[in-house]
Chain A
Amino acid sequence: MARLVILGAGIAGQTAALHARRRLGRDHEVVVVSPNSRWNWIPSNIWVGVGVMTPEQVTFPLRPVYEKTGITFVQGRAVSVHPEGDGDAGRPYVKVELTEPGKTGQEERVPYDWLINATGPKLNFDATPGLGPSKNTVSVCTFDHAAHASKAFDETVARMKAGEKQTLLVGTGHGNCTCQGAAFEYIFNVEFELRRRGVRDKARVVWLSNEHELGDFGMGGMFIRRGGYVTHSRVFTESLYTERGIEWITRAGVKEVAPGEVSYETLDGDERSLKFDFGMLLPPFSGVGLKAFDRSGADVTASVFAPSGFMLVDGDYAKKPYEEWSPEDWPRTYQSPKYPNVFAVGIAFAPPHAISKPMTSPKGTPIFPTPPRTGMPTGVMAREVAFNIVDMINGKATAPTRHASLAHMGAACIASAGAGLFRGTAVSMTLFPIVPDFRKYPDTGRDLGWTFGEIGLAGHWIKHLLHFGFIYKAKANPLWAMVPE
């Protein structure tokens, strides 16, 4: 009997757990360790953040799903990995601090034969003084953050209805943030709601981000064919911001957020500030702070995790200049080179480098986006890793045979620009590959036949369908496996 332990129950963890459970015989055990008792469809949090949805609509309790599917659930936070066991036991294990009511704070050892790290990010608000929902800005990274943001947004709208003018600031709260797409969705939903609530004329809406240009999204932007031209996403994004009356500030690394005022450094080295009444600035991400210890108890964290806290896998982590970056730098199997029975998927794996071109201010401050990992590639890599492990458990393979490199994978993405059955819109896009390959596609980095984007009501319908489809799938309802990643 083999025991597969999955750390995390987000999109990656849930996908891996359900696929592994479905393919493994009942003599093998699948265990999920997660500090959260509820699953969250994170892409819909932006709708919670403007009051269009409630936290209950974007979450569901995990335990009934695991009871139904035969997955063991340990509600707790993984603290350390012991891939060689220790003096008492040679079997690898994870040390977990329980978060289950009644057992909170207790420690438990969770032994494993195979381990998937799908812990997602630590929301590193502490990287910027004053950033975060407990300080001077709101966030939509979790459903409770988004509910808090919705309340703050309602209060801002109430002040506008009372005649006050307000500045609403949305973007990234640090020079090395990622997930610009989520902030993009949020600012357009905020702007849409302001119009719907009849207070748009009282609002100044401002985008502040670490992107070099609008439309970068941490992927270096993308080119699409449209109207007889090959056009960069910057043009379309600037067009949309202009149409909706949203100002933009790019090439900005936020240094500090005081109550009602953000200070930032630009790529030119200028120090600037902006006053605001409502601010949603995303935090930078880091690993969740897992430690690793060998059999003697020595700390081997530095050989298992990158300094960022993300897990080292089969990528090429050699430091090299932008000109020497290669698609082959990106991991294919997500297997730890030090411990072959350990894998990391989703946000938990360490990317070899950024996708957008790295930029540094004259003062030495890095101001550029780190790589995004959206839902579709996260689901695909989690599924492929689960299948690889199942094959190895069943003796069909001795090493991973399936690959899911971001440099050889495409992605489809729907970015909401306002919710409404007949008036809503969303940007629909596909791109291939996610990591540009300028040797194969010298001018654009991507295959124009597979890369497209457009905005319209159809995109909103699709985003809404994805909301229900993926929650249906994550609940392991009948025929869930038919829903693609």
Chain B
Amino acid sequence: MNETKSPVETRTPFGQTYYPPVPTEFTKKMRTNLFWQLLRFVVINVKILRMVRKH
């Protein structure tokens, strides 16, 4: 499970980590891509403010 184990060991069939979707490298990069995240910053803030204004 931890990083000292080989990928074969960590992907044991029927183990906890076997079934969940795992992000691709592209997905992970976009999580900290400055341009994309600046856009998401605006989008998420709009969503939050809409929720705030709802009550």
B8 located at the interface, meaning its Cβ lies under 8 Å from any Cβ of chain A in the complex: no
Given contacts A455-B31, A456-B37, contact A238 B20 (CB under 8 A): yes
A65 located at the interface, meaning its Cβ lies under 8 Å from any Cβ of chain B in the complex: no
Q: Do A425 and B31 have beta carbons less than 8 Å apart?
A: yes
Cβ-closest chain A residue relative to B4: A201
Q: Do B31 and A432 have beta carbons less than 8 Å apart?
A: no
A132 located at the interface, meaning its Cβ lies under 8 Å from any Cβ of chain B in the complex: no
Q: How far is the CA of A444 from the CA of B54 in the complex (A)?
A: 20
B6 located at the interface, meaning its Cβ lies under 8 Å from any Cβ of chain A in the complex: no
Q: Which residues of A contact B2 (CB under 8 A)?
A: 200-201, 203-205, 245
B window 17-55: CB within 8 A of A: 17, 19-23, 28, 30-34, 36-38, 40-41, 44-45, 47-49, 51-52, 54-55
Q: Do A235 and B20 have beta carbons less than 8 Å apart?
A: yes
Q: Which residues of B contact A55 (CB under 8 A)?
A: none
Q: Which residues of B contact A242 (CB under 8 A)?
A: 16-17, 20, 22
Mark interface residues in A196-234 (1 if CB within 8 Å of B CB, else 0).
Answer: 000011011100000000000000000000000000000
Total A residues in contact with B, Cβ cutoff 8 Å: 39
Partner of A410, one of B16, B33, B36, B55: B55
Partner of A409, one of B36, B49, B55: B55
Mark interface residues in A448-461 (1 if CB within 8 Å of B CB, else 0).
Answer: 00101011111101
Given contacts A456-B37, A457-B32, A462-B44, contact A430 B51 (CB under 8 A): yes
A window 93-116: CB within 8 A of B: none
A423 located at the interface, meaning its Cβ lies under 8 Å from any Cβ of chain B in the complex: yes
Q: Do A404 and B55 have beta carbons less than 8 Å apart?
A: yes
Q: Which residues of B contact A205 (CB under 8 A)?
A: 2
Given contacts A203-B2, A462-B41, A462-B44, contact A238 B19 (CB under 8 A): yes
Q: Do A243 and B44 have beta carbons less than 8 Å apart?
A: no
A270 located at the interface, meaning its Cβ lies under 8 Å from any Cβ of chain B in the complex: no
Q: Which residues of B contact A458 (CB under 8 A)?
A: 37-38, 40-41, 44
Known: A205-B2, A243-B22, A430-B47. 12 other contacts (CB 8 A): A239-B23, A243-B28, A248-B16, A410-B54, A422-B32, A457-B33, A457-B37, A458-B41, A459-B44, A461-B37, A462-B41, A484-B52
Q: List 16 A-B contacts (CB under 8 A).
A: A242-B20, A243-B22, A376-B52, A410-B55, A412-B48, A423-B32, A428-B47, A430-B47, A456-B30, A456-B40, A457-B31, A457-B37, A458-B37, A458-B41, A461-B37, A484-B52
